[in-house]
Amino acid sequence: MKVIMALLLIFVLSSCTSKTIADYSETKPDLALEHFFSGELTAYGIVLDRSGNLTRRFEADLVGTWEGNKGELKEWFRFDDGEKSTRIWQLEKTADNLYKGTAGDVIGVAQGETAGSALYWRYQLEIQYQGSPLEVTLDDWMYLVNEKRLFNRTEIIKWGFKVGEVILIIEKHDS
């Protein structure tokens, strides 16, 4: 009986599949960071705790510029509790569909890959938690809805466990 249960467990676990960026290769419109994150944009988002409870709301103004394969994305955040913060990304398209980025609060280098209308972006971020710095991993999925809107869902991970989530929509301003 134990052998049957073990085999059943192995079968169930092996049939669980997580999404990969390749799953989106046929989706449209195609997402190119150098096109979408160029010019002025606005983001509207929420932060959820590990139980899915709303903890914060925010808005952010973004300005992106690109020269060739190198870009800069400036982000100015305003949280509902009065906190304000700024992040400036230095981005680079390193090959077809591959990107990397750095920012002041990013530990190391963020790595990203696009396929179709999606981007998978993963990096370590230093955040403040109860007055102390804390390093977390951000597992970031972005989906281009249309030429002016991008949906972003990010899992915040610590010690291999999801401890929170950020959900936002980014809208591109008319040129």
> pTM, whole model, 2 decimals?
0.87
Is residue 8 in a domain?
A: no
Write down the pLDDT at residue 128.
83
From residue 161, give the alpha-carbon distance in Å to each of 126, 149, 172: 16, 30, 33
Is residue 32 in a domain?
A: yes
The residue range of the domain holding 105 is: 23-172
Is residue 39 in a domain?
A: yes
pLDDT tops 70 at residue 9 = no
Q: In the chain, what percentage of residues exceed pLDDT 90? A: 84
What rounded mean pLDDT belongs to the chain?
91
User: At 1, is the pLDDT very low, low, confident or very high (cuts 50, 70, 90)?
Assistant: low
What is the DSSP secondary structure assignment for residue 62, as one 8-state letter?
A: E
User: At 18, is the pLDDT very low, low, confident or very high (cuts 50, 70, 90)?
Assistant: confident
Write down the pLDDT at residue 19.
85
Number of domains in the chain: 1
As a whole number, mean pLDDT of residues 111-134 equals 94
CATH no. for residue 38? 2.40.128.20
SS3 103: coil
Q: How far apart are CA 124 and CA 106, in angstroms?
A: 6
